[in-house]
């Protein structure tokens, strides 16, 4: 029923009937406690992915670009990880892959050892066939790891935004310029960026990584949030959502940690 309602809501908001009905094609089988995101266009499913519990709101959006903010931010906070179940009589190893982007990539050089952070979860007897019963403990451990990684990125942005050749930039125009040059490694956006009231308009340019500010000569007008995330994901950048504009954002709605090397 939820996906039937989503199709009806998509049609009401202006999506083509064939595209709206296609949403249910990417629904998959329901997983307890998880959220599902499906992006469709021209009657085809472009993206279908499960997200961790609590990582997305129940909504249907229709627009010139996919609304992937929640998806990208949730993926960045769930890296690949390995769970080792150790008992006196034997061990079992459970491997969980990551999505397309994750925050640990942005600070991998700062992690101790090649295996990255290791957290021990104290527990009683567990099944050797899986780690489902340790879901809450694993989620808490991953939250701890990614919170430290996010703080490290914030510190890098705050310390790198000054100087003649800064390794980070703040502000929409500066971030848009670096996105166009495919130099963004991590995009940071404020949670309230969708309601930004700068008075400017934003346009998707001739390339997916090009976000134009107050330039309607080419492209399609797009929401600021969608345009930034669309450009970032097209250069394999990690997307982080921050609760407010203090700290690494320096009062701006967006900031970026840059890659090394010249723009392409």
Instruction: Judge if 46 and 97 occupy the same domain.
Output: no
Report the half-sphere exposure of 173 (CA within 13 A, side-chain side): 5
Instruction: Judge if 165 and 219 occupy the same domain.
Output: yes
Nearest Cα to 255, choosing from 149, 141, 179, 145? 179
What whole-number distance in Å separates Cα of residue 199 and Cα of residue 194? 13
Instruction: Judge if 153 and 167 occupy the same domain.
Output: no
Nearest Cα to 186, choosing from 70, 109, 72? 72
- What's the pLDDT score for residue 264? 40
Instruction: Judge if 34 and 121 occupy the same domain.
Output: no
| pLDDT per residue as tens digits for the range 209-237 | 998 888 777 778 899 999 999 999 888 88
| pLDDT per residue as tens digits for the range 160-192 | 887 677 889 999 999 999 999 999 999 999 988
Instruction: Judge if 132 and 209 occupy the same domain.
Output: no
The whole domain housing 113 covers: 81-157
For residue 242, being part of any structural domain is answered with yes
Write out the two tokens for 75: 């993926």
Nearest Cα to 83, choosing from 31, 121, 32, 34? 121
SS3 252: coil
238 close to 68: Cβ distance less than 8 angstroms: no
What CATH number has the domain bearing residue 226?
3.30.1330.30
> Does the pLDDT at position 133 exceed 90?
no
Mean pLDDT value across residues 21-25: 89
190 close to 197: Cβ distance less than 8 angstroms: no
Number of domains present in the structure of the chain = 3
Instruction: Judge if 187 and 202 occupy the same domain.
Output: yes
- What's the pLDDT score for residue 263? 41
What is the model's pTM? 0.79
Q: Strand 44-51 vs strand 35-41: parallel, antiparallel, or unpaired?
A: antiparallel
């Amino acid at each position: 029923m939820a996906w039937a309602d989503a199709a009806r809501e998509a049609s009401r908001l202006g999506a083509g009937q064939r595209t709206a009905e296609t949403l249910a094609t990417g629904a998959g089988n329901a997983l307890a406690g998880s959220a599902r995101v499906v992006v469709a266009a021209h009657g085809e499913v472009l993206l279908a992915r499960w997200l961790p519990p609590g990582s997305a709101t129940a909504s249907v959006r229709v627009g010139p670009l996919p609304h992937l903010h929640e998806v990208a931010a949730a993926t960045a906070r769930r890296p690949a990880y390995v769970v080792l179940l150790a008992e006196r009589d034997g061990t079992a190893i459970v491997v969980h892959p990551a999505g397309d982007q994750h925050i640990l990539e942005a600070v991998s050089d700062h992690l101790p050892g090649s295996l990255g952070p290791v957290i021990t979860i104290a527990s009683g007897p567990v099944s050797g066939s899986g780690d489902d019963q340790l879901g809450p403990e694993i989620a808490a451990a991953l939250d701890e790891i990614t919170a430290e990684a996010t703080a490290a990125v914030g510190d890098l942005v705050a310390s790198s935004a000054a100087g003649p050749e800064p390794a980070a930039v703040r502000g929409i125009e500066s971030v848009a310029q670096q996105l166009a040059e495919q130099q963004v490694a991590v995009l940071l956006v404020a949670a309230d960026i969708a309601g930004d009231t700068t008075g400017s308009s934003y346009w998707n340019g001739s390339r997916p990584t090009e976000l134009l500010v107050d330039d309607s000569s080419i492209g399609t007008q797009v929401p600021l949030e969608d345009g930034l995330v669309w450009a970032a994901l097209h250069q394999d950048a990690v997307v982080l959502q921050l609760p407010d504009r203090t700290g690494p954002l320096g009062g701006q709605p967006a900031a970026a940690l840059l890659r090394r090397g010249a723009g392409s």
